[in-house]
């Protein structure tokens, strides 16, 4: 029987220092007796020597391929680039900093190949050491997302195995602004999970700035829920009810000629209504910006280079398609 092909997709951003060792280590956990493996490294526009290291890796290991994006498009886009450029029986997606332990890869493969699960997710037992403020922000983000979209991602990670079926499904999702974790949860399918402990980064710092994380959070919520728009309507209704009562009271006072100079009320009302209007407009604006981005239909990423082996593989695929057409 022919061995199944598993692609390990790893987005890499400014990890030149450690990427060689990390990928070599990951490679040791790939048992080639049972499956064929390829490791696909997507360089997300790194500014250090990452691409050099990736070419070195691909010269040293037969099964390593590299793909270089033309600039930093973000981890989400790098993952898309990886997925769209492979054609395996299953994909494993993981980080390059060994925070996703390669030790559990054999177990993931077993759950997929033997037990027939289509998605095997790595689930964090504990979030590794991180700043207190990050922890609070992450937790409240997941709470809000769960409340609004019903998708529960607390403890979910990007460490996953996806069957070819799921990859096909993901490829059909045309949105440009992707939130990978949410999208793969949205697809459904037969899922299993494996708990793992997040280790500390073995070098360097996390590549996520507070701003990048905030962008991801807003993108995730607006991608999976229209609830904020409904909340705006709901607030409007609430204020209408309030103004009805206040209106009645004002008229009553007026007709009984006991109306006093109610400045406080006026100022408070102005402030509350003014700020609510501003926030509402902001929320609506966020959605319009999203529509605008999707309508422009720009590609999610641009590839600037591929390692030699990747090109050979592409040529092979191309020849195969040509033959099929004949
Ligand atoms: N990453 C990327 N593009 C970015 C930021 C990060 O491809 O713009 C990659 C990074 O190289 C790593 C993974 O995404 O493989 C996770 O990043 P990091 O370890 O910095 O994040 P954390 O572990 O704090 O979530
Ligand atoms: Mg990390």
Per-residue confidence of the chain (326 residues) as pLDDT tens digits? Answer: 678 889 999 999 988 888 888 888 888 888 778 888 899 999 998 888 889 889 988 888 888 899 999 988 888 889 889 988 888 889 999 988 888 888 889 889 998 888 888 989 888 887 666 777 777 877 888 788 777 777 777 677 888 999 988 888 888 877 766 677 777 777 788 888 888 887 776 666 666 777 777 787 887 788 777 778 888 888 888 888 888 888 888 888 888 877 776 667 787 788 888 888 888 888 888 888 888 878 877 788 888 888 877 776 666 665 555 555 55
Residue 19 and residue 38: Cα distance in Å, rounded?
Answer: 16
Handedness of CA 194, 197, 202, 204 (dihedral sign): positive
Please report the pLDDT score of residue 78 as a whole number.
Answer: 92
d(Cα 159, Cα 154) in Å, to the nearest integer? Answer: 14
Q: Give burial (CB, 10 Å; 0-12/13-18/19+) of 310.
A: buried
CA 215 to chain centroid: 11
In 85-209, which ranges are continuous DSSP H helix? 105-113, 132-149, 164-172, 180-186
pTM score, two decimals?
0.72
Q: Is the CB of 207 under 6 A from ligand 1?
A: yes
H-only helix segments in the chain: 19-28, 50-60, 75-84, 105-113, 132-149, 164-172, 180-186, 210-224, 227-255, 263-296, 308-325
Q: What is the pLDDT of residue 316?
A: 62
pLDDT at 324: 54
Q: State the closest ligand 1 atom to the C-alpha of 198, by its place in the atom list counted from 1.
A: 23
Of 207, 212, 213, best ligand 1 pocket probe by most atoms within 8 Å of the beta carbon = 207
**For residue 250, how far is its CA from the centre of ligand 1 (angstroms)?**
58
68 alpha carbon, closest ligand: 1
CA 206 to ligand 2 center in whole angstroms: 6
* Shortest-distance atom of ligand 1 to CA 205: 20
Axis-axis angle for helices 75-84, 164-172 (nearest 10): 120
For ligand 1, whether the C-beta of 250 sits within 6 Å is: no
Terminus-to-terminus CA distance in the chain, angstroms? 28
Q: Nearest C-alpha to atom 3 of ligand 1 is from which residue?
A: 75
């Amino acid at each position: 029987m022919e061995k199944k092909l598993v692609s390990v997709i790893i987005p890499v951003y400014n990890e030149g220092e450690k990427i060689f060792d990390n990928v070599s280590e990951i490679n040791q956990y790939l048992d080639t007796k049972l499956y064929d493996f390829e490791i696909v490294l997507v360089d997300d526009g790194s500014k250090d020597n990452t691409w050099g290291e990736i070419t070195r890796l691909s010269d040293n290991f037969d099964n390593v391929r590299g793909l270089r994006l033309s600039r930093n498009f973000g981890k989400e886009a790098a993952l898309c680039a990886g997925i769209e450029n492979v054609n395996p029986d299953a994909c494993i997606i993981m980080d390059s900093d060994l925070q996703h332990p390669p030790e559990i890869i054999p177990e993931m493969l077993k759950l997929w190949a033997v037990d027939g699960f289509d998605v095997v997710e790595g689930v964090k037992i504990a979030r590794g050491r991180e700043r207190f403020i990050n922890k609070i922000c992450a937790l409240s983000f997941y709470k809000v997302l769960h409340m609004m979209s019903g998708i529960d991602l607390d403890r979910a990670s990007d460490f996953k195995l996806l069957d070819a079926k799921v990859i096909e499904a993901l490829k059909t999702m045309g949105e440009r602004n992707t939130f990978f974790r949410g999208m793969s949860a949205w697809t459904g399918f037969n899922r299993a999970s494996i708990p793992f402990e997040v280790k500390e980064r073995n070098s360097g710092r996390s590549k996520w700035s507070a701003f990048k994380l905030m962008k991801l959070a807003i993108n995730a919520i607006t991608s999976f829920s229209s609830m904020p728009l409904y909340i705006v309507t709901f607030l409007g209704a609430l204020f209408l009810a309030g103004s009805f009562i206040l209106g009645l009271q004002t008229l009553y006072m007026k007709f009984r000629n006991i109306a006093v100079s109610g400045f406080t009320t006026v100022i408070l009302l102005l402030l509350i209504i003014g700020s609510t209007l501003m926030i509402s407009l902001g929320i609506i604006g966020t959605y319009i910006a999203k529509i605008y981005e999707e309508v422009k239909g720009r590609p999610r990423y641009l590839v600037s280079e591929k390692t030699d082996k990747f090109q050979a593989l592409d040529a092979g695929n191309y020849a195969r398609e040509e033959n099929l057409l004949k």
